[in-house]
Amino acid sequence: MHARITLDDGAMNAITGETGHAPPSEHYQDADSGIAVLLHGAPQVGENPVVGRQGSAGERIYQLYRAFGRDLLRHVQGQFSLCIIDPAERYALCAVDRIGRSTLYVRERHNGFSVAAHLSSITREDDFQPRIRPQSLYDYVFFHMIPSPDCIYPDVVKLQAGQCLEWRDGRIDKHFYWVPEFDEPSSLDWDASIAELHRLMGDSVAAEAGDDAATTGAFLSGGLDSSTVAGKLAKVFPGQANTFSIGFSAEGYDEIEYARIAATHFGNVAHEYYVTPDDVADFFEKIAEVYDEPFGNSSAVPTYFCARFARDNGIERLLGGDGGDELFAGNTRYAKQAVFELYGRLPSLLREGLLSPLLGGERRLPGPLGKLNSYVAQARVPLPDRLQSYNLLERVGIDTVFSPDFLATIDTSEPYAIMRDIYQRPAEASTLNRMLYLDWQQTLADNDLRKVTTMCELAGIDVRFPLLSDEIVDFSLRIPSKAKLRGKQLRYFYKRAVKGYLPDAILNKSKHGFGLPFGVWLRETPRLREIADESLRKLDQRGLFAEGFIPRIQHLHQNEHASFYGELIWILIILERWMENHGV
């Protein structure tokens, strides 16, 4: 989906086109009014007397627009980005789905704007100049991706999940058409809620699976979510449900045994692929080429090889299990932050009169006092800033990472400003639910979903995320915080819901997923070291990083923590390869 809209001499002009990316875009235009609807993804139009069951998604959304104007977005669900162009009204409406399963880039102009589902469509415009926004390079190292609304290019923004853009007579206005309204009921009917969740998950998997077992499959890591999806798919296609899993020949990383447990438990047709260091070496350039912006999540590699393996086995659509942790509180930071929040509930006289003066400073203290000092120091930092307490840039010092000339061009507070804006957006929400919503925007929309959708597109696979259906998201809003997280028990409600449905071994396993042992392999594989050394040498010459920083990271990787510093080297290599590939 791509459109360029301008207002010249009072007349609205629109040039529209397709991107050539999967899933296919739709372009519907009403012959009488000239109103055009451009779609990307798989929008779903809910039951409404205005719209019948016939016609394409674009035609039905056109009918909603004629009936409701911009309020049509209340009636559109699913995975989509859209643009509606109304020449007679000199008006355009663009939007991204509520969870950000699709993307939409906007390039503002002096007399209009361009909009596209893929940034590459905008960068191919004749007058586009590929200048890099320095702030976005900083944000990339901070987050390992570039968070919305920012973009790697200075005159382009990304719409955030649940956000829309209205253009009228040359004026642009952006706002959020959907912000979650979390409920905190005083009691919960556990049996009814558990039954409802299973029904919703079963319905969503069935709807996304289609009707052809031979061309449908599911990612299966052996975690809670992918195993749940595999189980629901097995009910849709008994004895024929295909699952695809990735293994690694590296100690501490290969958990394919849990995928086997799930596949055996549900009677799935299991397929397994082992990723090798050579796979990683072969894939560096492709990552730099295919991602619209620098993207440092190394698990993109196993995701791609899993999707390609599925495609080689005749699969056309894969179901991903993404979303359960972010809907039902499955990440360890949620429980950890709850412990820090206890400090704020202490009497202020105790906090400010005794603990803060004695503890919470930068000096090192021995034994238990050192741990208490660290606790107070972190607890005094408000959320959401505290979530970045272990960020590399905060731990080692920004001035030891970046060069003075580069730091002079950026605002080191911007990543925190983006987080705070998201965190505070829900009108009323618990601390836990605010963290969940922040993760919907950044962990899911900006990271995990971008990773999976881009790698599946590259492999020629359509991907759907059944646990992120609008119905399941709405259901999660009605589960009280104390049921999602109970003490240190993550996903308390969800685990109760799937107890007896999933094998105990999966219920009790630690979170893992498709993590890549890049740091370990980098130590052991000459070919990977050669690629890394060449890329880091070129990156070091760009003047972005402080003198000696990159050699120091290489030394620490070889002599200290291979996994931690290997991940940092990965994001730096990808940054250099991306800039080289995109001519910047």
User: Above 70 in pLDDT, residue 366?
Assistant: no
* pTM of the model as a whole: 0.93
CA distance 148 to 421: 11
More reliable by pLDDT, 342 or 245: 245
pLDDT tens track for 474-533: 999 999 999 999 999 999 999 999 999 999 999 988 765 557 899 999 999 999 999 999
CA distance 207 to 196: 16
CB proximity list for 410: less than 8 A, separation 6 or greater: 134, 135, 137, 138
> What is the predicted pLDDT for the residue at 365?
57
Give me the percent of the chain exceeding a pLDDT of 70.
Answer: 92
User: Above 70 in pLDDT, residue 359?
Assistant: no
> What is the predicted pLDDT for the residue at 352?
66
Put residue 480 in one of left, alpha, beta given phi > 0 → left and psi -120 to 50 → alpha: beta
Read off the pLDDT of each residue in 378-401 and give the average, rounded to a whole number. Answer: 89
Of how many residues is the chain composed?
Answer: 584
Read off the pLDDT of each residue in 358-381 and give the average, rounded to a whole number. Answer: 68
The helices-and-strands tally (H runs, E runs) of the chain is 27, 16
Partners of 37 in beta bridges: 28, 84
Which segments of 351-430 does DSSP mark as H helices, in order?
356-358, 367-379, 392-396, 398-401, 404-407, 414-423
Read off the pLDDT of each residue in 215-240 and give the average, rounded to a whole number. Answer: 97
Read off the pLDDT of each residue in 158-169 and give the average, rounded to a whole number. Answer: 95
More reliable by pLDDT, 390 or 530: 530
CA distance 516 to 275: 9
> What is the predicted pLDDT for the residue at 55?
80
> What is the predicted pLDDT for the residue at 18?
59
User: Above 80 in pLDDT, residue 24?
Assistant: no
CA distance 491 to 477: 14
The DSSP annotation for 265-323 comes to HHT-EEEEEEE-HHHHHHHHHHHHHH-SS----TTHHHHHHHHHHHHHTT--EEE--TT
> What is the Cα 339 distance to its own chain's centre?
26
Instruction: For 321-347, give the secondary structure using H, E and C.
Output: CCCHHHHHCCCHHHHHHHHHHHHHCCC
Q: How far is CA 322 from CA 286, 451, 473, 478, in A?
A: 24, 11, 12, 20
User: Above 90 in pLDDT, residue 354?
Assistant: no
pLDDT tens track for 406-419: 999 999 999 999 99
Helix, strand, coil share of the chain (percent; to 5): 50, 15, 35
Least confident of 75-84, 124-133, 297-306, 348-357: 348-357
- The single-letter DSSP state of residue 560 is S
> What is the predicted pLDDT for the residue at 513?
53
User: Above 60 in pLDDT, residue 361?
Assistant: no
> What is the predicted pLDDT for the residue at 272?
97
> Which secondary structure element, helix H or strand E, spans residue 556, and what is its range?
helix 549-559
Buried b / exposed e along 565-574 (16+ C-beta atoms within 10 A): bbbbbbbbbb
User: Above 60 in pLDDT, residue 21?
Assistant: no
CA distance 451 to 444: 9
Domains in the chain (CATH in brackets) are: 2-176 (3.60.20.10), 190-248+256-275+293-329+437-507 (3.40.50.620), 518-581 (no CATH)
Name residue 407's amino acid.
Answer: L
Partners of 545 in beta bridges: 402
> What is the predicted pLDDT for the residue at 11?
66
> What is the predicted pLDDT for the residue at 356?
67
Average pLDDT, the chain: 90
Partners of 11 in beta bridges: 8
